Homo-oligomer: A and B are copies of this chain.
């Protein structure tokens, strides 16, 4: 007794590329009607869809015993570029890992229609091999799959990483299980420079392995920013060298539920090797309950009438000690996290505690703020921004800071997260008309779940859909899918995030006119089985099967 009557069922045979076969066993009515799909995608299982693709019917075979990914002779990234070596191994494993591996056999004669090499050519004199990705990193690449060998050409290693993913997505199994790839020409680059995912490690602690597995999956989807909402009211898992009491007192557990400096380093390096930036968020002055446990006098004492109630509110903005603390703290952060940006939060500040505190009231009067507590908030944020600027970092902030009229550096990125579609579109228009760069998240709160294929709604949202000039549209640096942590931890985070975040990944990478939702359904269905085959428990879009189902409970 399933209320959803009869369905179009998608039988996925995991054969990518031109050999892709999607069969449907019936075409009965469905709810919603929209979920009816009936055709293969001519783009196989490519996800996100590259900017320009030419595919031919001609196909080549690949064998694990002969195929190699190698540096092209003229490449500026030589044998010492471990980022690429690591990537070659990873993609070789993805392509051949699940089939019976044959020994490399150098003397074997290769067949006439066999592809034996993918040559990777970094064309810019500086490959960026040892650098960190940034918002200005060049991620473009050109991929030519043809005989005698395929060539992946990219100015920087970042584009090579994207192109390797694309190449691996072109490889499919033919009817006899042989790995094949069609002759193909691809020219590709991202539509937006900032394509992020926010994970929240405060509401629930996420073991490092879960974070790494999701970074791995981000790379499969060409996501290039991990927005690490690392602390919040509920817990402070970041182990600070300068203020170890913060996690000692503020983490769920001081040893088992913290991120040590070594953990953080590992996350950053794992991300770098996949072309992913790590932007930490240390949200103040609100969302800081857990900070107060390990740092005396940091939070505002709330009053009940004339006496302190014993509870605490936002960061206390009237004490010099607060700013001394923030200076030292963000100095540490600026050295631990290599990215040029820090996210400073600044959202949802509750004024009730400030209002209750007589010292704060006195300060308000002295400063001539009247009863306008947003002026006090701005006063705090302004000083914080100056502190962070002195550490040579740029900053991102949630939209309230802009809404409250705080003076911002011109390169500030305003992160839009509130309201209805109309409201966020107005906000994007206002932010960009004030000349600021902006990031969109409102339509991509993936923690919010509902029954059915909600990825379709995520897919349809476009961050440039608002009233504004071309100049304004250019100020949209991208967007982020947010998975707030109240209801997710290591048990359910990964299947809840994927493939729903993949919808956002394509919106932010592919051309604006890539909007065919049925084609997207077909490609995404196979892409999700590919993630499953690579060991990621990405959940199904609808009734279907993968040739190799997720192996759970195998350990």
Contacts and interface: CB of A to CB of B under 8 A. Distances in A.
Contact of A489 (B4, B28, B484, B539): B539
Interface stretch (A55-63, A205-213, A403-411): A205-213
A166 to B, nearest CB: 24
Contacts of A7: 203, 233-234, 486
Contacts of A2: 200, 232, 287, 348, 484, 486
A425 to B, nearest CB: 17
- Range class of the A interface residue count: 35 or more
Nearest to A256: B547
A9 interface: yes
**Majority secondary structure of chain A interface residues (helix, strand, loop or mixed):** loop
Contact of A289 (B6, B252, B540): B6
A450 B451 CA distance: 7
- Each complex incorporates copies of this chain amounting to 2
A445 to B, nearest CB: 8
A37 B187 CA distance: 56
Contacts of A11: 252
A545 interface: yes
A396 to B, nearest CB: 11
Given A213-B553, A253-B545, A492 B486 contact: no
Contact of A543 (B204, B257, B399, B452): B204
A489 B550 contact: yes
Contacts of A348: 1-2, 5
Interface stretch (A240-248, A465-473, A517-525, A530-538): A530-538
Given A449-B451, A492-B496, 4 more contacts: A7-B233, A25-B293, A257-B549, A492-B495
Interface of A: 1-7, 9, 11, 25-28, 200, 203-205, 207, 209-210, 212-213, 232-235, 252-253, 256-257, 287, 289-290, 293, 311, 345, 347-348, 350, 398-399, 415, 417-418, 441, 445, 447-452, 482, 484-492, 494-496, 532, 535, 537-540, 542-545, 547-555
